[in-house]
Amino acid sequence: MANRGPSYGLSKEVQEKIELKYDLDLEALLVDWIVAQCGGNLERPQPSRQNFQTWLMDGTVSMHENEQILCRLINSLYPHGNEPIKKILETQMAFKQMEKISQFLQAAEAYGVLTTDIFQTVDLWEGQDMAAVQRTLMALGSVALTKDDGHYRGDRDWFHRKAQGYRREFSEDQLRQGQSLIGLQMGSNRGASQSGMTGYGSHRQIM
């Protein structure tokens, strides 16, 4: 895990404002869901923004499954054998940890999370914006619940279903009636004349 030094000046003020957006109640909900979704012997972190950050980055599903939590989370939303992230063993090497975060973000977007809801790697890696991390996880839970494909685990009241586009279905008779109406409208316009109309920019003749 990256250790950031103290922030000074404007960056410190910005960081404080960002941290005000972090929600401890939301953290508890997300921990409940991740534990339920991932299964296994997953230990819960002590409540705090920093502990949540460390847990997501360094936590593993169990002693026998040395798989990073975020990777396991997104994989658990797919059928067995179709997981988007191949198993990566836990490591303390910084570039490997960052690679796992990046793979999770790519997989989350491919799963259906909007690009605008995806946090940046440094938001988690350096703890720059853990509120953004919470938003991504909430969006992921909402997409999983909305898909309703049997892979979501946990309380169905934890997330809101995303609005689905309403698609109207028309019968063949309704389509034929619509075509007839368009045909009648076109026919009624055939006798229209442009006589007396003045083109834009042309001179009018005054009689």
Q: What is the pLDDT of residue 197?
A: 46
| Whole-angstrom distance, CA of residue 195 vs CA of residue 98 | 72
What does pTM read for this prediction?
0.70
| Whole-angstrom distance, CA of residue 104 vs CA of residue 125 | 13
SS3 200: coil
Q: What is the pLDDT of residue 204?
A: 47
* CA-CA-CA-CA torsion sign (137, 21, 129, 132): positive
Q: Which residues pair with 68 in a beta bridge?
A: 60
Q: What is the pLDDT along the chain (207 residues), one digit of tens a residue?
A: 454 444 444 466 766 666 678 999 999 999 999 999 998 778 899 999 999 999 998 765 544 455 689 999 999 999 988 999 986 555 567 777 888 899 999 999 999 999 999 999 999 999 999 999 999 999 999 999 999 999 999 999 999 887 765 444 555 666 666 566 555 555 555 555 555 544 444 454 544
* CA-CA-CA-CA torsion sign (106, 26, 139, 40): positive
| Whole-angstrom distance, CA of residue 25 vs CA of residue 38 | 20
Q: What is the pLDDT of residue 21?
A: 87
